[in-house]
Chains A and B, each alone.
Chain A
Amino acid sequence: MTLPAYAGTLTSAHRQLINGIRDQWAATVLSTAPVDRAAAVGAVHRLYDTHKFPRPSLTIWMDSPFGCIYAAAVIGQLTETLREQFVNQLRRHQLQGQLGRQLWFRLARQVGEQLGDRLGDRLAGLLSGQLEDQLSGQLQGRLSTQLWGQLRGQIKGKLHGQLWDQLNDRLWDELWGQFGGELRIRLPDQFSEQDEDQGWDEDGSRGWAERLHSVFAWSDARALAFDSCALLIAGRPADPRLGALSSVVTETGWLIPMHGAVIVGARPIVLHRDARGDLHHPAGLAVAYPDGWGFCAWHGRRVPDWVIAAPSVEAIAAEENVEVRRCAIESLGWDRFIAEAGLVPVTAGDSKNLAAAHVPDPGNPGQHLVLYDVPEQLWGGRIRLLMCTNGTPERDGTRRRYGLKVPAHLSDPVEAAAWTAGLGKDEYARMMRRT
Chain B
Amino acid sequence: MTTATLGQLIEKHGFDVLDHLDRGLEIPVHAGLQAQGDLFIIPADPDRGSRQGAAVPPDGIAVIEAVGGGHEHRLFAGQPGTAFFTPAGAGRQDIGFLECSEPAYIAHPEHAYAGIAPGTYTLRRQREQADWERADEERFVAD
Contacts and interface: CB of A to CB of B under 8 A. Distances in A.
A392 B20 CA distance: 11
A300 to B, nearest CB: 10
Contacts of A323: 131-132
A404 B126 contact: yes
Given A420-B126, A428-B33, A433-B30, A392 B68 contact: no
A333 B18 CA distance: 24
Contact of A435 (B42, B114, B127, B128): B114
A372 B142 CA distance: 22
B15 interface: no
Contacts of B127: 419-420, 422
B95 to A, nearest CB: 12
A421 B42 contact: yes
A277 B68 contact: yes
A30 B14 CA distance: 32
A414 to B, nearest CB: 12
Contact of B124 (A363, A381, A394, A421): A421
A434 B112 CA distance: 11
Contact of B68 (A274, A383, A420, A423): A274
Interface in A173-204: none
A391 B28 CA distance: 14
Interface string B25-42: 000101011111100101
Nearest to A326: B131
Contacts of B89: none
A405 B140 CA distance: 11
Nearest to B117: A432
Interface in A242-284: 273-277
A6 to B, nearest CB: 26
B102 interface: no
Contacts of A420: 126-128, 141
Nearest to A428: B33
A433 B132 contact: no
Interface in B95-142: 108, 110-112, 114, 124, 126-132, 135, 141-142
Nearest to B108: A435
From DSSP, what is the main secondary structure of chain A's interface residues?
loop
Contact of A431 (B35, B37, B69): B35
Contacts of B37: 391, 435
A52 interface: no
Nearest to A397: B20
A363 B34 contact: yes
Given A381-B135, A392-B112, A406-B129, A275 B70 contact: yes
B33 A407 contact: no
A406 B114 CA distance: 26
Contacts of B114: 433, 435
A160 interface: no
Contact of B129 (A277, A363, A383): A383
B35 A435 contact: yes
B12 to A, nearest CB: 18
A390 B19 CA distance: 17
Given A276-B142, A363-B34, A431-B33, A421 B68 contact: no
User: What 9 pairs between A and B have smallest CB-CB spacing?
Assistant: A275-B142, A432-B32, A275-B70, A435-B111, A434-B35, A405-B129, A432-B30, A395-B20, A275-B67
Interface of A: 273-277, 323, 326, 363, 381, 383, 391-395, 404-407, 419-423, 427-428, 430-435
Interface of B: 18, 20-21, 28, 30, 32-37, 40, 42, 67-70, 93-94, 108, 110-112, 114, 124, 126-132, 135, 141-142
8 contacts: A276-B67, A277-B67, A323-B131, A394-B20, A423-B33, A427-B33, A430-B32, A433-B28
Given A421-B35, A432-B34, 16 more contacts: A323-B131, A363-B35, A381-B135, A404-B128, A407-B129, A419-B127, A420-B127, A420-B141, A422-B93, A422-B94, A432-B33, A433-B34, A435-B34, A435-B35, A435-B108, A435-B112
